[in-house]
Structures are given as C-alpha cells and as structure tokens.
A and B are shown apart, each in its own frame.
Chain A
Amino acid sequence: MNAVKVDAAIVGIGCSAFGRGLPDSQLALAAVAFKDALADAGLKREDVDGISIHLGAPLGVDYDRFAEAFDLDIRYVNQSWLHGRFVTNSLQHAALAVSAGLADVVACVTAVSFTRERGFLGGPGDVEGNREEGGTHGEAPPYGLTAPAGGAAISMQRYMHLYGATSAQLAAVPMSIRAHALNNSRAIMQQPLTLEAHQNARMVVDPLRLFDCCLISDGAAIVLVTRGERARDLKQKPVRISAMQGTRSGREEFIFAPRGLGINQQSGKRSFARARDLEIFTQGIARDDVQGFYTYDAFSPLVLFALERFGYCGVGEAAAFVQDGRIAPGGALPVNTSGGLLSEAHVAGWNSICEMTRQLRGTAGASQIKDARALQWGTAWGDSVILTRDR
C-alpha cells in the first residue's frame, strides 16, 4: 500500500455560536467563524486562497458567495453535493490542494441552517432523496422512506435481528456522547441523558428513538489548512493530517450500514474489517495508537457501524463494545468528546474536527484527553483521517 503523499496541517479553527432557530443567515454565521479562525491562526484573509465547501446552498453557503462576501481572491475551489457524507472528502480536498500547491491556505467552510431549511432533510425539498433509483441513504419517497434517518433505521433493524443487539444497548451511544457534551459549554444539550429517558422518548423511525437522532441545529465551523512547513511558522501548534483514506462505494456498500449487511443490494455476507478498509492504519499511526475516535453521529447506529468498520471490535460486537462507559469521558476509547451531532450541534461533523484540533493542541479544557497525540476521524461509510500533534 502506498502512503498517501500529504503534507498538510490544520492551523486555525473558528466557530459561531451553535443553536436551534438562530436568526442569522448562514453567511452571517460564516463571518463569525471565519474571523474567529483567522484570529486563531494568526492569518489575514488575504492569505486564504482556497475554499472547500462541504454543504452549499440552500442548506449552507456556496463558495462564490463566501469569496464575494468576504472579498477574497480565490484560486482553488472544491464544493461537494449536499448532505453530510462529504465531510471527510472536503477536508481531504483541502489537504490535497495545499500538498499539490494548488493553494496555500484552504478554508474548509461549513455554515448551515438546518432549522430554516427543514424541508431539505427528508421533506419535499430533498432533491437527492427523490433520485430515480432511490436516495443514497436508502430513501424511497413514494413508499414513505423519505429521510436519511430511514436508512439508519432499516440498517439497525437488520443489525439487531442478526446480532441480538437491543435499543437499550444502542442507548449507550447517545448517553456517552451526552456525557461528553456536559463538559462543553458550547454544546446545545446540557442535561444528562438517562437510559430511562432514552427508552421513554418517542419513536421516530423504528428502532430509532428521539435521542438516537442528531440535533437539527444551526451554526458555522471553519477549519484552515496549509502545508506543514508553513504551519510551523504560524501562531498555533500545528495539527497534522497524518493519514487519509477515501469514501468506499459499490454494490456491497450502503452508506448507513456496515459492508455486506444486506441492505439495498448488499450481499449479506459480512466479514471482519478488511485490509482495504484499514489502509488508514498503515500510514504511520496504528489503531492501538489512536486515543480518541470521532465520527459522523447523525444517528446512533452510525457510531456502532464505524467502530466495526475500523476494526475496534468484531462483526456484530459494537453494541456490546460501547457499554460500561468505554466511549464515554474517561473511557478506553472516548468518542466525539465535544458532544458530536447528537449533543453538541449538527455542524455536519466540523464541530468534531475543531474539537480534535483543540485536543491535539492540549486546549480542550474539561474534555481534554490526557496527552492527546493521535486521534481518528472515521465514518460508517469508510472514509477517515488521522490527526496528530506535530512533533
């Protein structure tokens, strides 16, 4: 396996306030986060010559409006299609662009208003879900499976059938992530989540109950990426993008299920995480060196599926693996230490990328993982980056 030739580091992070029903435009949220990120990095806006946009209009801000509104002079742009699945991809594009010299500093921009654009998420405005062959998350709107949550639900239903996992076991995911959020004053959710509250909450799409589904919220997060050498001259201790692997796709893959689970056209033949899914651990940082795991927790089953995908436990074992505080604060493998999408805010995962950066700088406050040196971001659909503290 060839090592990925990437020379990139995160040098600045910035966030707006996170909330539900914020009155600000997405661009107004982006302005706050952008100024915050520039100040954090000690860079001027003239230094930013690349933009990587995860979610554009109508949910977020398009690259051209970002450049125009803040009078930037941009020479590299990446913008992905909507929905959250391109979070890793848009960070990776930034890393590749600076490594290849296409830009010096790329701003990864995510500024979203999920509350004002509610119809986009599984409602009549969801053009992706209404694709002819069905949506990427298994949406079949004519049959009433209209939202991404439905894809997570049909996967978890089959997972429970195959492995005997229960809703009460699944509850450990949102409960643990909520416990992390309680250490973070930016997090929207500030009350502990009990098993009883999880089990008594309304069913949304069986077996997903209310707290298995992430927040519908508003906010902006911006991450500035540059080359490693330049990063060392800037204000903050650089956080290196040390390893990367891309999105997996094919008939054996369904975005919200482990490979081969038997959803959509998957074969139903599962296997332990394969070498091809573990490329991420062959680039200098082994799985055993990872001190915290960060993932796109739009729905709590996605955390289980990501843990199995990267081999933190065996096939069908994730529901047991997450019990007894293992992924909670102080656990052996803390997951989403700022509260993730489930309890901090749905900034499409970028809140977690910012949190990983704080962790590796040693500035994560009450959430701090002791002596954090290597953290993994990895999604249920198989893409990943490992971030490390610069030597």
Chain B
Amino acid sequence: MSIHEKPRPRIGPDSAPFWKGCREHKLMLPTCSACGKAHMPPGPVCPFCLADAIEWRQASGRGTISTWTAVHKAWFPAFAAEAPYNVIQVELDEGPRLTSNLVGSEKPAIGQRVEVVFDDVDAELTMHRFRAL
C-alpha cells in the first residue's frame, strides 16, 4: 500500500460476506439462528451462545450515533485534504456497533438517528457510511 492511498479494509474469510453485502448495497450482519442475536465484528461462531449457526441477514440499515470524533491530525497523508473529518460509531437497531463516517453537512451528535448509504469506492470496494435521518 502506498502511503498516499487510504487504507482498505482487510477482508478475511469471516468478514468477506459483510463486504460482499456492501458491494450489493446491503448491510448484512452475522446473526445466530440459535439465539437470534446479531454480532460484530464477524466471528466464526456466535459469541453469545457459541453456536455454529451463523446466518447472514440483511439489517435495517438504521441506527443511532453512540459516539463520534472529528479527526484534525492527518496520520495518513491520504486523509490530509479532508481534515478535519468525522468518524462515528453507530449502534444499529439490531444491536451491534459499526465504525463509519457521517456524510452530509450535519455535525455528528450522540443520539442522532442515521441510515446507511453505500459508497462505491472503486470496482472492488464499497464502503458503508451513514446519513442523518
């Protein structure tokens, strides 16, 4: 990776279905068909009941900002032009939290309701981001 490029997600066997979902503009969550709970980050078994019965189910795409920050310093040169930029954590209505960005002009606030949008970065990668509701 060139230091002039933004880092890309590392995608392994456990997380591949998540990123494939993003490619298809669907927010997919690993969900346990034994206990019904969704979890993140994707694991090989349900972290709550250890069942192997993981099903990938499409999430509502809605959630609430649980925390946020604005990054002013550019640790990666590739982010320098956008600084300060926001990073948010979203508590999805299904429970798990995701780290993402809020798009649009609104400043993030804890408690803000948000909805997923998909950003086709290039031919291989689509990233989830969120917009205020």
Contact = CB atoms under 8 A, between A and B. Distances in A.
B39 to A, nearest CB: 7
B33 interface: no
Contacts of A251: 47
The A interface is mostly helix, strand or loop, or mixed, namely: loop
Contacts, number: 110
A205 B71 contact: yes
Nearest to A266: B97
B1 interface: yes
Nearest to B110: A161
Contacts of A121: 75
Contacts of B58: none
B69 A153 contact: yes
Q: Which of A131, A141, A207 has the most CB of B within 10 A?
A: A141
Contacts of B39: 265
A154 B69 contact: yes
A203 B66 contact: no
B66 A265 contact: no
B18 to A, nearest CB: 10
A247 to B, nearest CB: 19
A276 B75 CA distance: 37
A358 to B, nearest CB: 34
A138 B42 CA distance: 15
Interface string B90-126: 0100001101110000000010000000000000000
Given A124-B3, A132-B11, A203-B84, A142 B127 contact: yes
Nearest to B96: A265
Interface in B55-74: 66-73
Interface in A106-139: 119, 121-124, 130-134, 138
Contact of B7 (A141, A161, A204, A206): A141
Contact count band on B: 35 or more
Interface string B39-58: 11110000100000000000
A205 B99 contact: no
A99 interface: no
Contacts of B1: 124
Contact of B99 (A124, A145, A158): A145
Q: Which of B7, B10, B67, B76 has the most CB of A within 10 A?
A: B67
A133 B73 CA distance: 23
Nearest to B66: A262
B79 A144 contact: yes
Given A263-B89, A265-B40, A150 B71 contact: yes
Contacts of A138: 99
A18 B47 CA distance: 44
A206 B69 contact: yes
A39 to B, nearest CB: 40
A345 interface: no
A76 B127 CA distance: 46
A147 B69 CA distance: 12
A140 interface: yes
Nearest to B41: A133
B101 A203 contact: no
A184 interface: no
A208 to B, nearest CB: 8
Contacts of A143: 87, 99-101, 127
A157 interface: yes
A155 interface: yes
Interface string B11-23: 1101100000000
Interface in A319-335: none
Contact of B110 (A146, A157, A202): A157
Contacts of B101: 143-144
A78 interface: no
Given A130-B7, A131-B10, A150 B97 contact: no
A264 B7 CA distance: 20
Interface of A: 119, 121-124, 130-134, 138, 140-147, 149-150, 153-155, 157-158, 161, 202-207, 251, 262-265, 268
27 contacts: A119-B3, A121-B75, A122-B75, A124-B1, A141-B6, A143-B99, A143-B101, A143-B127, A144-B87, A144-B101, A154-B67, A154-B89, A157-B67, A157-B68, A161-B67, A161-B110, A202-B72, A203-B70, A203-B84, A204-B73, A205-B70, A205-B71, A262-B66, A262-B67, A263-B67, A264-B97, A268-B66
Given A134-B99, A206-B70, 9 more contacts: A133-B42, A134-B41, A144-B101, A146-B7, A153-B69, A154-B68, A157-B67, A157-B110, A205-B69
